[in-house]
Structure 1
């Protein structure tokens, strides 16, 4: 398997080279040159997620330095529950895939844990890796947790000042070496631009072995296919019908992973993207014209993206594969959290609520055509300040999230400038 750049001006590379580079030399994003095709019966019914992921990802890592390590990486990375639940017994056609049972309470644990295990397998003391990760909320926590204690890779996490929840900020800044948290005095898009600028500086990138853990890295997207595969296979085996997916998305990583899984033959029906009030994707879907813009702050802050990086992948892959894009503003998010809890007792984080609202807006006949799977992307305790007043009760964090509150915090403030980031990358500063 070889990987190509979306911009078409970079050499083909192996999977491990694509993971290590993060971004292609021409500034493009890596995609598999070809896609393997699977039949549903290629996967055993009783396979746990680690075994299923190893089977699904095997062709993507063929002939790479990670081929032999892949089964162990998957087994180690995906060792936590992945429940598919019915939040409201009165609405059995709606299933919620809870992606927040990993150590940092967010779906980003899947990709981050896979990626850092892969990095430790391909890096060495003489050729280490520095992972730059811009985060709008949950990526950084997952990256920090996955990187803590890594032997040959360090993580430098950039996040926007004043744009994430108090708990998210604490979770970004509580990890020990080799992890550094940088609070950027700007928005997420500025953090993302700063990371891309650092990659474009060839001398800086080579000096520090820069790589990415954002969804611009193909190493983040590929493992995310696994949970969509497992959930869709379960519903397909039960009903004989391909389930539809409702995917909360900001930078388009989670949504693109679902489309990638479907393109590989997994039994997935229509894919609906749910966004917050940031209108870039919904306007594109309505008009056919893509216009990046400044992000705006919302209650679902991990999706506060005005220039989603993975649109570059989507536009060259098959943008017509997206069934719909539903924009959900803060008022509707709040109301959906309230109404869902009142109807069934189920507690949704603001991002999950965008998916539930997108489902609720479907015509009844469309909902009845198939089972729909909505992704629950983060534990509601990560947004307790927003959720608790709406449902009128205190939330109890799971042990992994409660432990974050006991850890000391380490962070450095910087401006959104390459020279300030470069200074933090020098030995003795980051990590």
Structure 2
């Protein structure tokens, strides 16, 4: 007899702002930085601490994956202690919906002396991973059976490493995945990209900067090549910056209500793609100021339309698209064909959901165009994608009657997002 399935959570009424919102926000830590720091700590030559780690589904999946391989990751407190251990056992890794787990862990698992099996949520079986697996095979790693989840990495305790050519035009994570473990390979790793431009280059810059902090020698002098020299990975304690991409809906709240939102502890220098919000929001007509206290955005009386290439900042597209749908002028977002391979096909989903609320939106192969149109309430579906939920709540702040389906998907990078968001109104 089949067990009854739990009823779906009711659609969440997104709060409508009755006037300008004024708020000070402290964001959780960066998922991108947390998961890179955890992986490098597990490969390092001694114990270390990841301070102010983001506690979310994606980061807990990474911690669980590294623990399954043989490390010890203590996630009990705000600061997570990591003790590297021998990767000497068979293991099962649940990737959930975390691209960083699916792509970053296999090159590390190749160093194991056991067989490591990977699987995840059903949608993850459609997300691209084949380039990473093909690269591992060319470096001498036994991976079976194919080029998508589920798959197995059959380790022998070491990886030859060397030169590899990949097409990283679908995701910068393909490059980062190989670089993060590359120093532990016998010959290091020399990755050359051959294909259309790599999206989200700031994320590769983030990986390179973190490797260098760990004492790893990286040559990135050629814009299409990254070479990691073989050698030890020094144990380093990291303090995780706030997740600047998670700032997008909060700063957008200032933009759509004519209010003022301050995000505390905004770094003066960062490799996070979310730092592009400063320029993007200025284009919409916002006043943006960074001080030692953080980043403050003052919304305008009316939102101007924008024309922007988000190729390097694709994760910001959903929140930016919501602002475009609310702007008084036409807008065009381009350069983001790669986000069709994210948690969902974000371009198709944004066109469908924003259009369902009345937006005049046209989907293009690599972006979206908007013309001003009155919006109305309705159900905004999220497709188990936290960034889609961000778009829904931003529209809901300006439009009565928006119901966000599965708002809990925001726990991927921001636990209790809905409660925190509601407390701002």
Report the TM range for the smaller structure's normalisation.
under 0.3
More helix by share: 1
More strand by share: 2
Question: What is the TM-score when the length of structure 1 is the normalising length?
Answer: 0.26
Question: What is the TM-score when the length of structure 2 is the normalising length?
Answer: 0.27
